[in-house]
Structure formats: structure tokens, C-alpha cells
Structure 1
Amino acid sequence: MVRVLLTKLAALDPSPEKQNAFKMGPVDEPHWRFCFAREDSFLTTFSPTYRKDSSRYAFETSHSFILFQPLTSFGRHGLTEDTPASATNWKNPTSMRDKARVAFKENGCPYHIPEELPYPVVEHIVKPKKDDGTSCVRWWEPLEP
């Protein structure tokens, strides 16, 4: 469903150059970002199918939703460069990124943080039920009949 929604949204991109999200190269490459109206976004999905111990838990709603977070907002909050899991200051977080990672972990819903950078962000849009880095939901591929 995410693939269908994003494909339809990309087809409606008002950018005059039609440089929409799915014409920017293979989506499973580290450089790919969802782009709409010339705005790159980080996408996060939430669903009632995730349990409370998931970073994608939808907090008692019966609906699924996608958060489109403009990448420019990361810069405004000092999150310009991503960091691997090993660079996270778990005991005394000072950066916004580390504080978020620690908060999710302390609240019982840690998420997989890749060690190797850059990584394909597409693999983090729809998370597997067990988010330990051993699998990914390949939502961008058409479903087999």
C-alpha cells in the first residue's frame, strides 16, 4: 500500500522538471530520498499492526499513517550528519539525535540504527515487526500475484 500511495503521489508532483521521487534513481540506493514539489523528505510509517515495543507503534489509533518530515527540518535541529549506532552516546546524550535514540530505547521501543553509512533510507520507511537489522520490508517492490 505504501508503494501504491507514494507512486500516485509522485505522479502528481507539481515540479516543472518532473524530478519526482521515483525518477531519481533506484530507491534502494543510499542517495535516494522521497522528493515532492522539490522538497526532500524523510518518511516514517506508523500502524496499529505494530506492538507497543515498536518505534512505529500508532498509539491506539486504528489507522496507519505516513509522516513526511522535510529534510530541511533536520538541519534546523542540528541533525545534519547521520551517525552510526556505535557513535551514539547512550549514557550522556547531548545531540538531538542521541537524545531521540535514548528516549526510544528507554521507553521500550528501540529501533535498528545502521552501523555503516550511508545506508538505503528506503529500508527504514516501513519497518519489520522485529526491527533488529536482520530483515527489511521491501515495500517498493510490486507484490507477487
Structure 2
Amino acid sequence: MADSPPAAFRLIQQQAACVFASRARIEAALPFHGTDARAAGFAAAAALADFSARVNTEELDGLLIELTHPCHGLTLDALAETTREVVGGLLAASGGQDIGELSNPGTEHWWLTLCETRWFVLAFAPCYPADSPRHAFGSHSTFLLLQPVASFDQHATPRGAVIADEVRQMIRRAYDANGCPYDADLAQQDIEALKFVWPLHLGAAPVLWWQSNT
């Protein structure tokens, strides 16, 4: 039910300074071409369920959801809304709570849980400048990469351990060398939801994507 990531996202993988990105095993749901981000979440739910059933046996690293309409990621506010609506659609389609009914994601113990799997989300979009780790390299699409938490265990040494601080520092130095200052304080703090949608610039306030502005 899933396919290979599109060329536009493979470029993001190749350009990423993260040592794990280029070799990550990523599958993609069918691209979504509409403007209703919640419908995109519903549309990707079957692919997510299939991916979840295989994530451990096949040691998969992520499922990609591509929204091709430019409206989803032209601004940071649009990207925050898109992320909230896609997550809400996935939750509703999987029989879970709607995003508005969840306990506050801005707490240390909150995880996005779908198909009995905990997920980390990385948003890449056209709104990010070239010096951002979430830059889209000219693509008009918005990409949400759902990474199962188990994937972090696969890349830790020994397996199941926390990724070593020296590896984290190496990743930070690699991003700096690529002209993409990496916000290590944001990356290492304990509220995982704050890392889903990054600010546009280093040191800017975290994005509370789960809060509606309407």
C-alpha cells in the first residue's frame, strides 16, 4: 500500500547533514493533491496501518505523507495548521481521539500514538529558508515524515540505547558546516511535539502547531 518516496524528498534525504537520513528506509503513502489537510490524514491512514504492521520485522524508519498543493506549506502558520489537520485526520481514521480532544501535546510525556505505535513527526515545507534543516529544496510540496520511535532504537549503539551525545554533536557540526545552523536546545529538550514543526529561524519561539488560531 506504500511506495518509494518521490525524487523531491529523496533530494531532502541526500542533502540532510544527519548521518542517518541518507540510509533511512522510508516508504510513502500516495501523494495527496487536494487542499483539505484533514482529508489527507484520512487518505494516508490505510498506508500507516500497513506500515505499522511491518515496522519492526522489516526495520522501517518512516512513512512519508506528501501534500502537493502549495497552500499547505507556504507559510509557517499554514504548515502548523496542515500538521494539526493531518494528525487529526489520522487519529480520527484510526479510531482514536480527535486532536482537539487530546491532552496537551506540550507536555513531556505526550506521544503521538497511532496503530499502537508511538510516532515522531518531521515537517518539511517551502516556507523554510535554505539555512533551515527543514528546507524543501525548491519543492512546492509539504512533506510530513512519520518516524516510529522504534527507529531511533535501530540506530542507537548498542541497540535500544539513547543516541550518544557525541553522535548528536557530530550531527550539529555537520549541519553547521552545511550552512544550516542546528537548534540543539530544541532538538534535545523533552517535549517531543515541539520538534514536529520547527521555527523558521534559529532561536525563534517553538511552534505550538496543535493550537488552532481560529
Does 1:72 find its partner at 2:150?
A: yes
Q: Helix, strand or coil: the match of 2:184?
A: coil
TM-score by length of 2: 0.53
Q: Which amino acid aligns with 1:125?
A: F
Task: Give the partner amino acid of 1:9.
Answer: L
What amino acid does structure 1 have at the position aligned with 2:154? R
CA RMSD of aligned residues (A): 2.7
CA distance in 2, matches of 1:73, 1:20: 25
Task: Show structure 1 runs of 5+ residues with no match.
Answer: 90-94
The answer as to 2:201 corresponding to 1:138 is no
Structure 2 counterpart of 1:142, one-letter code: S
Map 1:20-59 onto structure 2 (within 5 A).
25-59=103-137
Partner of 1:5: 86
Q: Would the aligned equivalents of 1:48 and 1:60 in 2 still touch at CA under 8 Å?
A: yes
Is contact 1:123–1:137 with CA below 8 Å preserved after alignment?
yes
- Return the offset for 1:110: 2.2
Measured against aligned partners, the alpha-carbon deviations of 1:57-116 in whole angstroms (never above 9, x if no partner) come to 011111111111111110010074367xxxx54xxxxx3x33322222211112212289
Q: What amino acid is the match of 1:99?
A: M
Give structure 1 regions of 4+ aligned residues with deviation exceeding 4 angstroms: 18-24, 115-118
Gap change, CA 1:109 and 1:56, over 3 Å in 2: same
> What TM-score comes out, normalization by structure 1 length?
0.76
Supply the AA of the counterpart residue of 2:116. R
| CA distance 1:82–1:118, change in 2 (3 Å) | farther
Structure whose residues are more often helix by fraction: 2
Query: Aligned residue pairs: how many?
Result: 130
